[in-house]
Amino acid sequence: MKDLLTTADLSTADAGEVLRLADGYAAEPDQQPTLLHNRLVALHFTKPSTRTRVSTEAAVLRLGGSPTMLTATDLQLGRGETIEDTARVLSGYVAAIVVRTSSDAELARFARAATVPVVNALTDGHHPLQSLTDLLTLRQVFGDLDGRRIAYVGAGNNVATSLAQAAALCGVDITLATPAAYAPDPAAIVVAERIAGATGATVRCTEDPYAAVRGASAVYTDVWLSMGDPAEQTATRRAALAPYRVDTAMLDHAAPEAVFLHCLPAHRGQEVTAEVIDGPRSRVFRQAANRLPVAQAVLTALLCGKLHGQRRDR
């Protein structure tokens, strides 16, 4: 397995290996200080980023390498160079390429042409690094994932899609509550359901947020308007998503030990109230910190050939 483009690219064993490595890096961050010695890792970001950019840069440094940031204006793509030519050229200089962009199809073209590992740092359809971080956080909080259920409440975006796939890979039940107009990508949910069939997990979709949250071990939400969503839809989206705001009353329907998760950035008063995200059940900043060991783990696993892909499970 050369690349990580979607969470579903992983097998259950792969997901377990990434989480094992991430646990190790969380406990001992500097255990592989020469893996990327004298090597560059390219970060090609066409979208703004705080957690993904800084955690990935820090991960490369901790592995002994140097990150080089390449924005949309730094490359020749804007002057007509093809995605394939850019990927081939960069492959001659760097050990890996981390890409944050809009189009999943363009990312797939980039990965096919590249001869070094390519990691999806967020596209319109997927956010695999975030989903692996989410499962790592839950495992840290509860000690293991056995018998846990996640409730995702809000807009059915790339975070929801990847979270469903990661939960299924790890044998964790998940219920996604979204308005019908903002449901997650049906094809991606079918993939999650297929994975869940092999691991014994369940993936359910509903329009009822309280039904989703009832008895859940974790309640998760995300922003109502993601990067790339049309601004003119803001008022419509807010009206449709208002019943999905996570407040104390909703969180109280979850299990007594339930925690709150959010991939950030958050908008207090929209998708979540300040009382919840800043309250004692919130684990969002631990979740954010875990982006660093997960980035280390993914780079290590890909560069060392530790991942073998979904075919082992299918």
Catalytically active residues are 100, 127, 130, 222, 263, 291
Q: CA angle at residue 301 from 297 to 307, to 5 degrees?
A: 130
Distances from the Cα of 220 to the Cα of 36, 249, 305, 308, angstroms: 34, 15, 32, 29
Q: How many CA atoms lie within 13 A of 191 on its CB side?
A: 20
Which phi-psi region, left, alpha or beta, contains residue 154 (left: φ > 0; alpha: ψ -120 to 50)? Answer: left
Backbone angles phi, psi at 87, to 5 degrees: -65, -40
Q: Are strands 149-153 and 218-221 parallel, antiparallel or unpaired?
A: parallel
CA distance 106 to 77: 12
Strands (E), 123-243: 149-153, 173-177, 203-206, 218-221
| Dihedral angle computed from the Cα positions of residues 234, 235, 236 and 237, in that order, rounded to the nearest 10 degrees | 50
3-state SS class at 96: strand
3-state helix/strand/coil string of 8-27: HHCCHHHHHHHHHHHHHHHH
Closest CA to 290 of 259, 271, 258, 263: 263
